[in-house]
Amino acid sequence: MKIFPAIDIKDGNCVRLVKGDYSTAHRVAENPLDTARSFEAAGAEWIHMVDLDGAKDAALVNKDIFVQIARETRLKVEVGGGIRSMEAVDYYLSNGISRVILGSAAIKNPEFAKAAVSKYGDKIAIGIDAREGMVAAEGWLDTSNVYFVDLAKEMEKIGVKTIIFTDISRDGTLTGPNLKQLREINCAVSCDIIASGGVSGINDIISLRDDGLYGAIAGKAIYTGDLDVAQAIAEGAKPRDLSRYFAKSELIPAIVQEASTGEVLMLAYMNEESMRLTLETGVTWFWSRSRGELWNKGSTSGHYQHVVSISGDCDDDTLLIRVEQIGAACHTGSHSCFFNEIGFKPWRK
């Protein structure tokens, strides 16, 4: 998982807000360039920057600061705030900025977002900022009636590869990210999801990594000293820790269910390696107890299972895998393996 140290700029200064409230802005560092260089020295590859004045005024108010950091450090700079036109996108991407974040434009002018993605591909990210699940815009001053996952799906359709999701109620609070909403959006779309808002320390980084997030933005926790950038980068680079699912046994049962209908398709077993492969590839892998080897469902028949979601039960020792099944799930040609009905007399009151 990639770590994105954050610098928000207001009136030319490095500031942080609480829950997006501009009246709470307080200075957290002396100089944007020096701060960026400190992140670079700690091993950061990316830096996340926001033009708070630009977000409110719909203009590139602090553009010179962002371009200076892109030119005078080796950091990849992603910038959001006030980007409402193709000219603004062109300016940033032709002046050393690695990725431009469209926020309000994605909901107010989806055709512009579509055109920008068509022109620049993965150099365009979409920032989805939500208040109680509903998308906010205009520097978080307005709240729409659009649900955050619905917007994510629309952005996926136009080719967006990266989404930055912020729960405004957590931003700048050090109360932890909204894991529930992050899991929801991460499962709903194929886009890389970068978590933003609420990171309070290294344990949040570990939780986000183990939930399979592509990236995490950290701001206030860095400036308060609650999160060390170098430690966060090192922790984010580690593989997801799946050991809790295999604490009782090297193999756990995995129930496979058709996502669209709820029909149970099959039961198989996973070890840690097959679970990791499933999470990484998006199709199911299992462990064959009879052959003593890994197997990828559909590799010979073409009847792949595209994973929609994976859930652990209350004891974390059984998995429920919801899939889109291609063809038959059963080797007999039946859609489901469960077709041998056993006669019994139903209980009646």
Q: Which residues are catalytic?
A: 8, 129
Residues in the chain: 349
- What 3-state DSSP class applies to 129? strand
Structure tokens at 44: 């950061």
- Of residues 280, 309, 293, 207, the one with CA closest to residue 251: 293
128 and 102 in contact (C-beta within 8 Å)?
no
Q: Given the structure tokens 């859609």, which residue do they identify? A: 335
Are the C-beta atoms of residues 106 and 84 closer than 8 Å to each other?
no
Burial label, 279 (beta-carbon count in 10 A; 0-12, 13-18, 19+): middle
Q: Please count the other Cβ atoms lying within 10 Å of the Cβ belonging to residue 33.
A: 13
| Nearest-angstrom CA–CA distance, 13 and 226 | 21
Contact 18, 53 (CB under 8 A): no
Task: Decide if 183 contacts 208 (C-beta within 8 A).
Answer: no
